[in-house]
Structures are given as structure tokens and as C-alpha cells.
Structure 1
Amino acid sequence: MSASSDARGVDGRGEHKQRTREALIDAALTLFAAKGYEATSVDEIADWAGVSPRTFFRYFDSKDRVLFFGGDAYNAAVVRQLPDQPAELGDLAAVAATQRALSSMVAPLKNRIRLYFRAVQDSPQLLGQHSAALARHEASLADALATRRSLRAPDARCRMTAELVSIAIRHAYAGWLSSKRDLAEHIDEGFALLREIACQD
């Protein structure tokens, strides 16, 4: 077998794994939104995706990890790209610019995100895990902001900025999921509203 054939084989396996992972995520979200997280089994998710339960556990440790896989990756991208923003931007402006730049990778997932929030709001267990994941991201964002300001550890300003970012993003997503406008527009509006409120007496 030639080197090019080897490369095609590796690429093909990678594409197959990605398709399987995506199928499992879509199956889980559809079932969670339709019948509830607690009432959905791993066997049902695997069957819906056309794979075995054993295959499911090759990709995810548990059924809740299907939900948070994409969110964790996106939040990591925000933290990773934040230092690339111009130094002259303030903290909120830098995070807003980062979120806006990454909005194009989220836009194709609109229906999946809508199903995610539907599943979370109907499950106390998932709502708790969502809150915990949000807290972890806020802590990571505060760390990134501290690094950006050459601090050894996040100060009160870093932590509050991270919390305010969560509010602005939650507002942006709520508007986006119920409209036909681009997510980037809603992000701009969310952060603009935040700045407007902060500037009031």
C-alpha cells in the first residue's frame, strides 16, 4: 500500500469517527428533548444513531457527556483565542470580539443548541450540570483575562467580567434562537446593552 493510500485510510477512519460522534449527539439531543433526559437510555441513543451501546461508550463516558461535548470545545476555543485580541481593547470588548469571531462555527448548530436548551430546562439533573459547566467556563475565562492583564491570579474584576459575559451571551443566544438574524448581531447587541447599563448613573 502506498503512502497516499495510508493517508486516505487514516482520513477515512477519522471522517467515520466524526460522523458517528455527530450521529450520537444528534440522537441524544432529539431523544432528550422529546422524552426527557432521565427517560432516555444509552441503548435508545445508540439504536437511534444506528450503532451498538458498546460503540456509544467508545465516544462518551456517559449519556450526559453527549450534551456537554460541544459546549466544552467551544468554551475552550474562546479561552484559547482571547489572547489574540488587540491589547488596546478592554476586557469586555476583547471577549465580545472573540465571541463574534467564533459565532460562525456555532451558526450551523442552531437546531442542536435549541434542543440542548429544551432538554436542560426539563431536567433538574441537567440544569445542575449546565450550571456547573457554566461556572467552570467562567473560572477559565477569568483565568484567561488575568493572563491577558499579566496577573498571577484572577482578581475581582476578572471574575465579575466573566460573570457579566455569561449574562450577555445568554441574552444573545435567547434572541438568536427565536429569530432569523445572525448570532453575531445578537452578540453585538448583548454586549452593547451590557455597556449601556454599566454606564448609567
Structure 2
Amino acid sequence: MTRSTRERIIDEALRLFAERGYSATSVAEIEAAAGLSPGAGGLYRHFKSKYEVLAAAMHEHAARTRSQVAESLAQLDTMETASTALDDRLAHLCRAGLAKVREESELTRVFFRDLSQFPELVAVVREGLLQPMFDAITTWFRAQPEYARADLDWNGIGAVLGGAVVHYRLFQETVGESPGHTEKDQFVAAWVRLAVGLVPSPAPVS
């Protein structure tokens, strides 16, 4: 698919912000990366400033995440709970979360390094990208029949299990290797085992 000039500017700016930092990236560098003549002002035909490019990237990624989370939940809902083992459903959920965090690796690097100076954009990412991921996990668990009798703090559990997924990918991004030298399949298997442990024991037969 051919990207528009505006899309190229956003994509290349986010890549450069992730690699070099927001302050260290110039408008001319963004223009060159987007295929425009550096220093000729091509960026300003689409955005008023470098900050506006950053804000557009945050808003558009957040909007895309909300849409993707809704689609992912719909796809998970189509899995027949009667014929698909809980372990398989959990593994699918965990892998989907890992894939999403990896997809947003550039944005998360910018978020943790540069956005403290832009609290209004922190709120955009928090409410549009991070919280929907945690909310999706909580919603999914509550919808599974195996957990129907579990009297648990699902918001807390969603924070723990969702946080593990986010941390796994962020650790790889920042350190360059997996936490505890754990391969992805090992991580998913451990995550599933912990989640299965939340299933309440069968009620005693009277």
C-alpha cells in the first residue's frame, strides 16, 4: 500500500524519535527520511511544527489501538469455548498481547524517554493505548466460562498479567535480551500456567 506524504512524515518521524530522541531529531532530518527535500519546508505543508507531528503520531496510534483491541476481542470471542481448550485460548491472548506491544515498540520508546515533557500526550497514550490493552485482558477473563465462579479482583489480575506481557517486550527493547533469558514460548507457557491456576476448584459434591 502506498503511503501518503503525511503518513510517511509521521512514520519516519516516530522512527527517528525512537532512535535518537525527540529533541535530537530535526525537521530537516524528518523531511529527508520521508523523501522530501531536507530544509525546504515540505513538512510544514502538512504540520505546523515538529511537536504537531509527534502529537499526530500519538493520537493516530491510540485510535488504531482502540480499533485493533475491539477487533481482537471479537476474534477471540469467535473461538468456540466448548471445543477450544482454555490453555489454547490463553496462549492466543498472550501472544496477541506480545505482538501488539512489539508493534508499538517505537511509540513505547518515545513514551518512556520523551513524553514526560508533554503531559497532554502522556494522557493520550495512557487512555488510548495502554489502558485499553489492560481493559481488554480484564474483559476477556470475565467472559470465559471457566472463571465464572471465581471471586477475584480482575482489575488487579489484569494489571499483573498484562504488566507481565508489557514488561517482557520492554525488557527486550531496552536490555537487548529476554528477562531471565526466557524464550517467548517459555514465557507464554508460564503465563498460561499462572492464568489457569486462577480457575476455581470444582465445588465439593455433597
TM-score by length of 2: 0.55
Work out the CA distance in 1 between the residues paired with 2:170 and 2:162. 12
Tell me the alpha carbon deviations over residues 26-68 of structure 1, each in whole angstroms, 9 at most, x when there is no partner.
Answer: 32231254232x78688975664236444469x9973422554
Q: Aligned in 2, Cα 1:100/1:42: closer, same or farther, shift over 3 Å?
A: same
Q: Aligned in 2, Cα 1:193/1:82: closer, same or farther, shift over 3 Å?
A: same
Greater RCO (CA < 8 Å, at least 6 residues apart)? 2
> Shift of the alpha carbon at 1:169?
0.8
* 3-state SS of 1:81 partner: helix
> Shift of the alpha carbon at 1:196?
9.4
1:26 and 2:24 correspond? no
Aligned length, in residue pairs: 175
Work out the CA distance in 2 between the residues paired with 1:121 and 1:106. 14
* 3-state SS of 1:62 partner: helix
* Structure 2 match to 1:116: 107
> Shift of the alpha carbon at 1:140?
3.7
* 3-state SS of 2:177 partner: coil
* Alignment of structure 1 residues 81-100 onto 2, 5 Å: 81-87=75-81, 89-90=85-86, 94-100=89-95
* Structure 1 match to 2:177: 179
* Alignment of structure 1 residues 66-85 onto 2, 5 Å: 66-68=60-62, 71-85=65-79
1:143 and 2:107 correspond? no
TM-score by length of 1: 0.56
- Is there any run of 5+ residues in structure 1 with no aligned partner, and where? 1-14, 150-154
Q: Percent identity?
A: 14
* Structure 2 match to 1:152: none
CA RMSD for the aligned pairs? Answer: 4.8
Q: Aligned in 2, Cα 1:120/1:197: closer, same or farther, shift over 3 Å?
A: farther
* Structure 2 match to 1:169: 165
* Structure 2 match to 1:5: none
Contact 1:31–1:40 (8 Å) recurs in 2: yes
1:65 and 2:59 correspond? yes
- Is there any run of 5+ residues in structure 2 with no aligned partner, and where? 37-41, 146-150, 200-206
